[in-house]
Amino acid sequence: MQRIYFDNAATTALSPEALQAMMPYLTEKFGNPSSIYSYGRESKMAIEQARKSVAKILNTSPGSIFFTSGGTESSNTAILASVHDLGCKHIITSPIEHHATLHTVEHLAAHGIVSASYVKLTSNGHIDLEHLEELLASSQEKTLVTLMHANNEIGNLMDIKAVGLLCKKYNAIFHSDTVQTVGHYPIDLKETHVHFINGAGHKFHGPKGVGILYINEDISIKPLISGGAQERNMRAGTENLYGIVGFAKALEDATHNHDIDKAHILSLKYYMADALQQAFPELLFNGDTKGDSLYTVLNVAFPHTPKTEMLLFNLDMAGICISGGSACSSGASSVSHVIKNIHGEKANSLVPIRFSFCKHNTQEEIDLVIEKIKELI
């Protein structure tokens, strides 16, 4: 059975180029980077070269890039350090953040460590910047703003520079979860007022289990994980050597091929959006589909019926891989917190479906998926 993969916001296939770059460090160049002899030195050199490459792409200094296990660890580090090390007593976030952010904030608030405020959303799921400024202006305590650059479910893009300027105006710490945009959009950290961003290699054809945390050099925090001096005393534990090498190579390739890949993927997104709307006039689009939105993500909602309720399952049986939202919670049977916060009570009468694309997808695949959906509902 031919399989079709339309869940690239969850993870992407490792590129042959990234795998090729990783292979020597999986075989003959296996030294522990902390070791002082030749095996260790060549491993350490590979990590530092990867760090320089990542820093150059993000237009920052290598000293501000730290390698982690992925986006979740990086977000946790940024949020917890902002509270414990930088003295933030108030956190402003949104109700549609990734659970790596939401659950961390909820835990801190539940234990009375911080107060939490949630910025309002516009009708199509964007952050209400006027309400954000109201929250910042009225805050009586040092504040952390943690808002994602792009929503992983509906694809909405936030104006990260505008939010950064608001945070600068009100002297707030700013963390942005950029997992869905690192490797997909140019990010210039010298031109963006932000204290923390994060990335994950597997979102742009790099390996799983490796990510980055950018820490602005104007601030100083303590490590989340103790027990070693790796990552310049910022992240204990033997480095994921081959993962780091693969991360850097995948990011280099994604940056080099950005314009061509973006044009191709955006054409697929619009083609599928138009084809779905024509085939299913009752369909709703979640988020700002043809506005400020990820070119990789298309989120739609079918009216809830016995047939649409089984749509994800039946498409899977036909070899078509898509999701109802975030892969981190795709096993859940209920509508996601993102869709609920956009549609309110109406969400329970909808069946949301997220299609997310990569450079390997084709219009022919889209045609096959739409024909299969027609058969099923």
Active-site positions read 328
Phi, psi of 60 (to 5 degrees): -145, 180
Q: Is the Cα torsion angle 188, 190, 193, 194 positive or negative in sign?
A: positive
Closest CA to 335 of 363, 377, 299, 371: 299
The DSSP H or E segment spanning 129 is: helix 129-138
DSSP 8-state code for residue 241: H
Q: In this structure, are residues 73 and 211 in contact, taking their beta carbons and an 8 Å threshold?
A: yes
What is the amino acid identity at position 241? Answer: L
Q: In this structure, are residues 146 and 175 in contact, taking their beta carbons and an 8 Å threshold?
A: yes
The three-state secondary structure class of 121 is strand
Q: What are the structure tokens assigned to 223, written together?
A: 């490590």
Cβ contacts of residue 107 below 8 Å, gap of 6+? none
Q: In this structure, are residues 40 and 32 in contact, taking their beta carbons and an 8 Å threshold?
A: yes
